[in-house]
Amino acid sequence: MHILFLSHYFPPEVNAPATRTYEHCKHWVEMGHSVTVISCVPNHPMGRVYSGFKNRFYHQEEVAGIKVIRLLTYVTANAGFFKRTLNYLLYMVMTILVAPWIAKTDVVVSTSPQFFNGLAGYFVAAIKRAPWCLEIRDLWPDSITAVGATHNKTIIKLLEGLERFVYRKADHIVAVTYSFEQHIIRKGADPSAITVIRNGVDFDVFKVQKKNQQFAQRLGLANKFVASYVGTHGMAHGLDVILDAAELCRQDNDLVFLMVGDGAEKQRLLAEKNSRRLDNLIMLDQQDKSKMPDIWSVSDLSLVLLKKQDVFLTVIPSKIFESMAMKKPIILGVQGEAQALIEEAQAGICIMPQDAHQLVQAVRQLQTEQDNYQNCAEAGYRYAKTHFDRSLLATQYEQVLRALIG
């Protein structure tokens, strides 16, 4: 079958939606299907076009057998509600304009957020006369109001109306958590038209690594216990807690915090680190995928953090699965479904979100209790291998799409 997948993000971008989309599509190609992805020029999260790319009206390439079409976009940093909304709207318009020229399509998949990326699937599916599968990776507008991106009640009501519209109109919905499934049902979707396919990990990419001693030496991490946060430095994450924890650990000469990534909060956090002279905190810019094995090889544990907001009770950050695959114990500052998963997997320690004292206590516990550390590493790996192998999840997803075609 020919699968047309609409995704605002795609590699070489390294965020969760780009990775999920790429890994599913790659597996579908390996299964013998034809896959076309419509995306943007890569620019997330800095709002700068990646080296080797141009923001052109239309560009086509092939990535791992996937036909990738990149369309003109309004390039802006991942900050500022109205600029980002313009970015999302232009993507939807461009996708609708290009859709008639795409080859015969058996099924259209659109992933949300970004919200207008999801909505684009409704129009493109109508143009292609194909069934529409809507993937929900986050709850909009709930998540943007939770982090204070907008307080405009008119805009929020409009987005809530569009949210209910897409839930009713989609031929099938794939949700990434069971909490999302319940929310979608409450908003009016048919329960029989929803399948939960959680995030996962490609075990061929995220592997257990020996420590790169030269890389550790270069970063000043030799003979250090390293607690790493790797990912977007956004409004939702509450990363000030890492700075507070680093300040509490000033006297621990063998403990270092490492933050890797970019986002709307990066420059503010960097300025705060410098102002507080936190020499035991190292902050690196977003790294190319090829650098990630080195980053994780010098990391002893993974920090997975979000703000203390009710909306985040429903999410499961994808870096959980990647950490498990690499046998990195997790300190989780997220409540709800993510906490239940970590506790069931016995893959780490759960703390209250945005609590620096609990964060420090958990880090020191894993640093000093070697048996506990090894048990978390091994248990997390086994759990991920059993439940979250991306190849198995991609097969499950393929069966959903095949059934949708009928």
Local confidence band at 78 (pLDDT 50, 70, 90 cut-offs): low
Mean pLDDT over 128-153 rounds to 75
| Alpha carbons 120 and 7: distance in angstroms, whole number | 10
Mean pLDDT over 299-326 rounds to 93
Please check whether residues 248 and 312 belong to one and the same domain: yes
The pLDDT value recorded for residue 15 is 87
Within 41-126, strands assigned E span: 58-63, 66-71, 107-112
Task: Give the model confidence (pLDDT) of 332-389 as tens digits.
Answer: 999 999 999 999 999 999 999 999 999 999 999 999 999 999 999 999 999 999 999 9
Residue 223 inside a domain? The answer is yes
Mean pLDDT over 123-150 rounds to 80
**pLDDT: which is higher, 350 or 77:** 350
Please check whether residues 282 and 365 belong to one and the same domain: yes
Q: How many helices (H) and strands (E) does the chain have?
A: 15, 14
The tokens describing 175, both together, are 């949700």
Closest CA to 122 of 171, 84, 78: 171
Closest CA to 167 of 200, 140, 149: 140
Please check whether residues 124 and 162 belong to one and the same domain: yes
Please check whether residues 245 and 347 belong to one and the same domain: yes
Residue 139 has pLDDT above 90, yes or no: no
The tokens describing 35, both together, are 């896959």
17-21, 117-121, 308-312: the lowest-pLDDT one: 308-312
Task: Give the model confidence (pLDDT) of 261-282 as tens digits.
Answer: 998 899 999 999 999 999 999 9
Please check whether residues 300 and 359 belong to one and the same domain: yes
Residue 111 has pLDDT above 60, yes or no: yes
Residue 206 inside a domain? The answer is no
Mean pLDDT over 318-342 rounds to 96
Residue 357 inside a domain? The answer is yes
| Alpha carbons 286 and 226: distance in angstroms, whole number | 18
Mean pLDDT over 64-76 rounds to 93
Residue 255 has pLDDT above 60, yes or no: yes
Residue 74 has pLDDT above 80, yes or no: yes
Residue 359 inside a domain? The answer is yes
Residue 260 inside a domain? The answer is yes
Residue 108 inside a domain? The answer is yes
Please check whether residues 164 and 263 belong to one and the same domain: no
Please check whether residues 259 and 269 belong to one and the same domain: yes
**Exposed, middle or buried by CB within 10 Å (0-12, 13-18, 19+), for 367?**
middle
If DSSP codes are grouped into helix, strand and coil, which group holds residue 103? Answer: coil
The pLDDT value recorded for residue 269 is 97
Task: Give the model confidence (pLDDT) of 390-405 as tens digits.
Answer: 999 999 999 999 999 9
Local confidence band at 47 (pLDDT 50, 70, 90 cut-offs): confident
Local confidence band at 152 (pLDDT 50, 70, 90 cut-offs): low
1-15, 95-109, 134-148, 188-202: the lowest-pLDDT one: 134-148
Please check whether residues 269 and 223 belong to one and the same domain: yes
The number of folded domains in the chain is 2
Cross-strand partners of 284: 260
Task: Give the model confidence (pLDDT) of 167-225 as tens digits.
Answer: 999 999 999 999 999 989 998 899 999 999 999 999 988 889 899 999 999 999 999 99
Residue 79 has pLDDT above 70, yes or no: no
Local confidence band at 148 (pLDDT 50, 70, 90 cut-offs): low
- Please give the residue range of the domain that contains residue 168: 2-200+389-405
The pLDDT value recorded for residue 113 is 77
| Alpha carbons 303 and 285: distance in angstroms, whole number | 17
The pLDDT value recorded for residue 227 is 98
Residue 45 inside a domain? The answer is yes
Work out the mean pLDDT of the chain and round it to a whole number: 92
Please check whether residues 79 and 170 belong to one and the same domain: yes
Residue 160 has pLDDT above 80, yes or no: no
Please check whether residues 318 and 184 belong to one and the same domain: no
The pLDDT value recorded for residue 81 is 65
Please check whether residues 185 and 239 belong to one and the same domain: no
Mean pLDDT over 28-48 rounds to 93
Please check whether residues 318 and 239 belong to one and the same domain: yes
| CATH (domain of 120) | 3.40.50.2000
Residue 205 inside a domain? The answer is no
